[in-house]
A = this chain, B = another copy of it.
Amino acid sequence: MRAVVLLSGGLDSYTAAAIAKAEGFSLFALTIHYGQRHAREVDAARAVARALGVERHLELEVDLRPIGGSSLTSDAAVPHGRNLDAPGIPSTYVPARNTIFLSLALGWAEVVGAHDLVIGVNALDYSGYPDCRPEFVAAFERLATLATRAGIDGARFRVHTPLIALSKAEIVRRGLELGLDYGLTHSCYDPGPDGRPCGTCDSCVLRARGFDEAGVPDPVLLR
């Protein structure tokens, strides 16, 4: 059975894809180049797709910079050393990003005959983004069926979020059980010119916390 999986090159989407593969899905990986600052992520997505042995890896150009509204898609500075428990939505939130990405995944799924979408969103150790919440995912699942041939043919779309209830440490442990090489991944929002993670953006801090609590070193930092 085919599944379209959103693959960013980060730790979460790699793990979500691997869990779907372990469940028996044949993977159709979709990476969106949305003009994010960390193009390093795109190289990681290719490496991860190869490691997963995906059936196909489609890369789409959807530049969201003309829309802006995020420090990831504009010239605004990415925050460093932020208090992750501070209320509110951080500037790295990209307006409607997961909705846009899932919509594109939905389009491709119709073409390849998949009724399953996989996304590595996480509602525990995340950054307060509204489009990572279970109620968002449930609403998209319902929409997906109504939006497509499925809604007319009586089929049903499922959106799989295998990480949604896991802590970052649990995600890392699950991935290591599955034999994943996290050295291939890239999570940093604001890498240096050499592509190395900054260590102080939200994404780096959450990742470090995950490896720390899992009691294993992050292979990316051992290089």
Contacts and interface: CB of A to CB of B under 8 A. Distances in A.
A152 B89 contact: yes
Chain A contact residues: over half helix, strand or loop, or mixed? Answer: helix
A148 interface: yes
A131 B107 contact: no
A69 interface: yes
Contacts of A94: 107
A97 B107 CA distance: 7
Interface residues of A, number: 44
A146 interface: yes
A62 interface: yes
Contact of A107 (B64, B102, B111, B146): B64
Interface stretch (A135-143, A160-168, A184-192, A214-222): A135-143
A99 B67 contact: no
Interface in A59-79: 59-64, 66-69
Given A100-B100, A152-B89, A131 B111 contact: no
A1 to B, nearest CB: 19
Interface of A: 58-64, 66-69, 89, 93-100, 102-104, 106-108, 110-111, 130-131, 133, 135-136, 139-140, 142-144, 146-149, 151-152
